[in-house]
Structure 1
Amino acid sequence: MLYAILAYHVEDEILSWSPEQDAAVVAKVIEVQAPMRASGLLGPAARLDETRKARTLRGPGAGMVLDGPFSETKEQLLGFHLVDCATDDEAVAAARKLRAVNPSAVYEIRPVKLYVPADGFGTTRG
């Protein structure tokens, strides 16, 4: 079963990091990802841009695009990891490994209901 591990942070804290602090956390996360990726258990992972750049599409028909997000919490969704785990416990263990090197993160773990791979997506454009 595929699980999405959603990374939540207090965005202002992350934005206050120096480039060196940010690079150090990213390097540690990549280190934790490496064995999962090598064993075929880690799929795409992404770090999302600032929430002030987010948009929400809602409403009937073609919908309306609104500036968003409209979070009610201090943390915002800033990224995700897609992992292939046999059980909920394995997915939780993977999230714990990620959080061990990025302890200010809050990870939401959710089974993926639909996965549509994007062969080659992101490889041709910067």
Structure 2
Amino acid sequence: MSQYAILIYEDPAFYETMSPEGWGAVVEAHSAFTRGVVERGGFITGGGALKPVTTALTIRAGTVTEGPFVESKESFLGYYTVEARDLDHAIELARLAPATGGGVELRPLHDPSAGQL
């Protein structure tokens, strides 16, 4: 099995005025995603939600500045790492990822035992 990162990009404004009921629906969507991965023979090996982009720091050439690396409407808000049989299976799993306010990026993880990137 290969490992993949499912990176979730959404518009942070989508969450700024969300009601408690809306937040409950988001939590349920992520629970449904994790169940769906397992039902389809994949494994979730990690994941997490990121604090708002207003908490981001960028470091370039040793200089620290406040704010995200790039300015954009959508921001990197969270991720999952999964094990999948192959790329097609990983795509099937990534399609399940909830990103109502944006989309997801799928990227294979590098296996350091395999040598160079």
The interval holding the TM-score normalised by the smaller chain is: 0.7 to 0.9
Aligned-pair distance for 1:106?
A: 0.6
After TM superposition, the score normalised by the length of structure 1 is: 0.75
CA contact (8 A) 2:42 2:93 kept: no
CA distance in 2, matches of 1:86, 1:40: 8
CA contact (8 A) 1:42 1:84 kept: yes
Query: Following superposition of structure 1 onto structure 2, how do residues 21-60 of structure 1 map, counting pairs within 5 Å?
Result: 21-36=22-37, 41-59=43-61
CA distance in 1, matches of 2:18, 2:100: 14
**Letter in structure 2 aligned against 1:113:** H
Identity of aligned residues (%): 31
CA distance in 2, matches of 1:114, 1:90: 18
Structure 1 SS opposite 2:97: helix
RMSD in angstroms over aligned alpha carbons?
A: 2.1
**Letter in structure 2 aligned against 1:57:** I
Q: Any stretches of 5+ residues in structure 1 without a counterpart? A: 116-126
In structure 2, the partner of 1:11 is 12
Aligned residues: 110
**Letter in structure 2 aligned against 1:3:** Y
